[in-house]
Amino acid sequence: MSATPSPEHVRVPTHLSATELHQALEELDAKIRTLQNRAHATTANSQHTYHEHIAALETKRAGLAAQLKDAPAAQTPPSDSDRSTWDEIWRGIENLRNDLRNII
């Protein structure tokens, strides 16, 4: 049986890169939304720990968000899709420039 951690005892990972922090925040947001939906779906006065679990996850999310704010910008190279998008934009600008030269 797993115990729900209280918000005061939640540990935030400290060795995550900016990319990993973004991913962790997205995953926590999804978990929080799921738990909120479950809490709303339960009947009144039922015994559940969704609210405590949500509070603990929100505390962890706040810690990760603070770390991300303080983290240096990641120096990751652009992906192939990013490069192809920028190449396509550059080609469009060059074509526009050539069209303008031909008009003038």
CA distances from 1 to 4, 51, 98 (A): 10, 18, 69
Q: Model confidence at 103, in pLDDT bands (50, 70, 90)?
A: confident
Q: Which of 5-9, 13-17, 46-50, 87-91 has the highest mean pLDDT?
A: 87-91
- pLDDT given at position 70: 76
86: amino acid identity, one letter: W
pLDDT at 1: 42
Of the pLDDT bands very low, low, confident and very high (cuts 50, 70, 90), residue 59 is confident
Q: Tell me what the mean pLDDT of segment 39-45 comes to.
A: 68
Q: How far apart are CA 58 and CA 49, in angstroms?
A: 14
Q: Residue 7's pLDDT is what?
A: 63
